[in-house]
Amino acid sequence: MFWVGILYFAQGFPFGLFYDVFPVHFRQLGVDLREIGLLSLLGLAWTIKFLWAPAIDHYRHHRRWMLAVDLAMGAVLLYLSMQAGFGPPVWIAIGVFTLLSATNDIAIDGYTIEFLDKKELGLANGIRIGMGRVGILAAGVILILSDYLGWPGAYTAAAGILAVLGIVCLYAPKELSFGVRKPMTLG
């Protein structure tokens, strides 16, 4: 269950950045509240992730997906750390960030389902919810850091956290090979 906790912390952290950190930063930049409210539309990526989930699950290698998207989200944050204003490039960057985060969710969920025995799913669900919330709260620490490091430093710290989480995912137990995969059933 240790890995379940780590992975779902990694899932909650970007979600917290999107819903807690970005709006505060943009408000401090003087962005209109209506525009900040429209940012939530980019959060639809988490709602429609079912559209590309089959492709992620088909190619499996969930740990590699987790590493790749965590590093890519970190790169987006580094890009945001260099932006002085709020305009179309920032909108695009945040859209990319949410798509990457939703893809990370798919990879983490797919890995967890393959990794755990069916009897462990109840306990794992509790850990999943709890550690996801801890990840969201940890994103709040980035807000505190912004007071001391400024936004560039805070985003760089968040990028570093995502890089560490991506690398840690590589140490999670290996997935089943393609030939060993259990058949999916409705029952």
Angle between helices 62-81 and 88-115 (to 10 degrees): 160
Q: What residue spans define the domains of the chain?
A: 2-176
Q: How many CA atoms within 13 Å lie on the side-chain side of 17?
A: 29
CA distance 108 to 24: 28
pLDDT confidence of residue 86: 86
**Within 13 Å of residue 6, how many CA atoms lie on the same side as its CB?**
18
Domain 2-176 has CATH 1.20.1250.20: yes
pLDDT band at 57 (very low <50, low <70, confident <90, very high): confident
Q: Is the pLDDT of residue 81 over 50?
A: yes
What are 101-115's pLDDT values in tens digits?
999 999 999 888 888
The answer to pTM > 0.75 is yes
Residues of the chain with pLDDT > 90, as a percent, come to 71
Which of 157, 69, 149 lies closest to 110, judged by CA?
Answer: 69
- Measured between alpha carbons, how far is 97 from 93 in angstroms, rounded to an integer? 6
* CA angle centred on 27, ends 24 and 32, rounded to 5°: 140
